[in-house]
Structure 1
Amino acid sequence: MMAPAQVLTTPAADELIHRLREKHGKLMFHQSGGCCDGSSPMCFALGEFMLGDSDHFLGTIAETPFYMSKSQFEYWKHTQLILDVVPGRGGMFSLENGEGVRFLIRSRVFAEDELLELEMAGLI
């Protein structure tokens, strides 16, 4: 049995990631635990955001690694994150700023069997 993905994308997110990759090259995402732009998913050029021991790798979406602070992951580990796009202004440091849209996290709680699969895989 394969563990469910911890992070997914919508078609709108895939399209925006593709556009941003054409402009900026390889990308990465980081979901912070607050501060300047709240807890918005932030898109950076790969390597532009310095990762540390306090960051957790959730998976790869649209050929792009997605990380979250470990403290934030403790709150979200029981949910599947879905990266989406909505109208509005992106975070001031996120690459979609100025595109007229911003990334947004939606989520759904994993079912009991999915949580067991994630635990067995050592992912939570």
Structure 2
Amino acid sequence: MVERVIATDAALALIAQLQAQHGSVMFHQSGGCCDNSAANCYLPTDLTIGAGDVLLGHVGGAPFYIGKSQYEYWKHTQLILDVIDGHGGTFSLEGSTGKAFHTRSRLFTDEEWAGIEPLVARDLA
């Protein structure tokens, strides 16, 4: 099965580091306001997920959300969470590590898209 969101080894290592330091974490793909189009990492209590957010999947055990309107635009792509050197947004937990989460994407092939598991209503809530 093709996942809607995956993570590189570097991203998984940084997620594990943040989980060891903070406990549970979650991601929200920013729509481009303050932190450009970055995947921001939060404590679950730091961001309210609501009807305007879509659960794409999990990376390193952490839920990964995207805004519903942004999902509609990007639904034909697989998001790939990666890490780059530098400082990400001030809102994201990794900001002090000297690294930043970075989202890459690729289009699903026709075969992948035909077989991708549809999101259920709870994921689109």
User: TM-score under structure 1 normalisation?
Assistant: 0.92
Gaps of 5+ in 1: none
Pick aligned residue for 2:62 from 61, 64, 67: 64
* 8 Å contact from structure 1 (residues 28, 47) kept in 2: no
Any unmatched runs of 5+ in structure 2?
121-125
Q: Is the counterpart of residue 19 in structure 1 residue 48 in structure 2?
A: no
Q: CA RMSD for the aligned pairs?
A: 1.3
Contact kept in structure 2, 1:82 and 1:107, CA below 8 Å: yes
Structure 2 counterpart of 1:102, which letter?
A
Aligned residue identity for 2:118: G
Using the alignment, how far apart are the partners of 1:48 and 1:59 within structure 2? Answer: 19
Q: Which one has a larger percent helix, Structure 1 or Structure 2?
A: 2
Give the AA of the match of 2:78. Answer: Q
Partner of 2:94: 96
Task: Choose which of 5, 8, 32 in structure 1 pairs with 2:6.
Answer: 8
Identity %: 49
4+ long deviations beyond 2 Å:
121-124
Superposition deviation, residue 47 in structure 1: 2.8
Which residue number in structure 2 is paired with residue 28 of structure 1?
A: 26
**Stretch of structure 1 that moved more, 31-40 or 53-62:** 31-40
Structure 2 residue 114 is matched with structure 1 residue 116: yes
What's the CA shift for 1:8?
Answer: 0.4
> How far is 1:107 from its partner?
1.1
3-state secondary structure, aligned to 2:94: coil
Q: 1:26-50: per-residue Cα shift (whole Å, max 9, x none)?
A: 0000002121111110000123210
How many residues are aligned here?
Answer: 120
